[in-house]
Chains A and B, each alone.
Chain A
Amino acid sequence: MADQQFEPKIVGFLCRWCSYTGADLAGTSRMQYPPTLTGIRVMCSGRVDPTFVVKALKEGADGVLIAGCHPGDCHYSEGNYKAMRRHPMLANLLEQFGIERGRVRLEWISASEGELFAEVVTDFTEQLQELGPLNWNQRIEADCETV
């Protein structure tokens, strides 16, 4: 099946204090997970402007992961709450654009949760394989061809 061969591209915005370190732990512990995620280290999940997410989707990502410290653990006290409030608003908006909710995922992964990081990437990859490629720009550009 073509679906099984499809390897989604995931852009992961990982908070520098928790989730990026968690991803590092998954790596140094040699945990196995699909090589589908390109991690971008950000200072805080609250720094992830929805513009970043849309830019990633527009430019070829099939899904976007935003991962930060657990609520209550933010290094900047409430950055992750901002991420938490934005997430459903962005998901609602993207849904109106025809982008499935499952393509943007918010997760809390602490520095010690390497295993959880690997699980999230595995699960997200499977979820995106089910949804199929997004190909936003090519799709829109090709379809906007006018005479």
Chain B
Amino acid sequence: MAKPKVAFYWCASCGGCEETIVDLAEDILGVVEAVDIALWPVAIDMKRKDVEAWEPGDVAVAFINGAVRLSEQKEWVELLREKCSLVIAFGSCAHMGGIPGLANATNREEIFANKYHRSPTVANPDGIVPQEQTNVDGYDLELPTFWKDVKPLNEVIDVDYYLPGCPPPFDLVATAVGAILEGKLPPKGSVIAPEKALCDTCERNDTKPDEMTITEFKRTATSTPDPEKCFLADGFLCMGPATRSGCGERCINGNMPCRGCFGPTPDAIDPGLKLLAAIASRGEADSEEDAKALADSLVDPLGTYYRFGLPASMLKRSADTERAQT
């Protein structure tokens, strides 16, 4: 019997998800024994016409990482959706928008202005900005459209499963691949990760006091967290209470609070707001002034609560986008 084929594809991403596969080192040989890699832009040279030649269903599963912002990315993921039986959103960016999704805190005009004019390392005296259509020496050249906002994969195509994480740890990937090969798949739309919150599996959970009293938020840039104490008890904002477990506590073990790359637990509609509610009510502030001071000690709440999930949050993005355009 022919080996099942898998495809890897990347959209707006950093390459860290590819690194998860590369991190397998020689174990990749085991993977290649079980499946054929049909598409993997980081490692295999393939063109779009090669994928267009596939029959629908030729490829068992597509692992797509990265958020979607370019029209070209949309064309690719639609093509993969058509040709592959299963589509898995791989990593935080495809799952919730991820770090590239933070661009939704600003807008396209600002991004272009920074990138092509304002940035101190840019010398662009003619003010040249990429155009979607250009004519050079009689040739019409085309660039993809840069959308007004960043979208998670499921806003562009139908997604079967989600593998969370920045990047997803390989044991989760192996579990998912195993489930696919054995046909033991969870219900469509599942996030393939434990449903419990990170706090449940965190080694520091025992040091979490029943009554937490946060007087001000500390930042890891300016103070060092106690290596054994619950981050929240120590005054550092940790996304643990609203974030799925299953990541292997990589950040916690590195003495960094959870930043939320695994996304919300199933019962948290919006992880940022859920965490805000939980944290705020545990603050030590008995007057409106103290409450304001506590709130103000948290620099950049949007970037903290939605570091990995702004495009998938309830509000999706900042309204400044609109103001700048009207």
Contacts and interface: CB of A to CB of B under 8 A. Distances in A.
Which of the listed residues A49, A84, A97, A139 has the most CB atoms from chain B within 10 Å of its own CB? A97
A-B interface, 3 closest residue pairs, ranked by CB to CB distance from nearest: A98-B319, A88-B295, A82-B281
Given A97-B319, A139-B322, A81 B286 contact: yes
Contact of A88 (B71, B147, B277, B291): B291
Interface stretch (B93-101, B177-185, B297-305): B297-305
Given A85-B283, A98-B323, 19 more contacts: A49-B273, A50-B276, A51-B314, A54-B315, A85-B294, A86-B280, A87-B291, A88-B292, A89-B280, A89-B294, A89-B301, A90-B276, A90-B280, A96-B105, A96-B300, A98-B322, A136-B319, A140-B322, A144-B316
A146 interface: yes
Contacts of B18: none
- The binding surface of chain A is classed by DSSP as helix
A92 B285 CA distance: 16
B232 to A, nearest CB: 14
B314 A92 contact: no
A58 interface: yes
22 contacts: A49-B274, A51-B273, A51-B274, A54-B270, A54-B273, A58-B314, A71-B286, A85-B281, A86-B277, A86-B280, A86-B281, A92-B298, A96-B300, A96-B318, A97-B315, A97-B319, A136-B315, A146-B71, A146-B145, A146-B148, A147-B71, A147-B147
Nearest to B285: A85
B70 to A, nearest CB: 10
Contacts of A91: 295
B270 to A, nearest CB: 6
Contact of B319 (A50, A86, A139): A139
A99 interface: yes
B85 interface: no
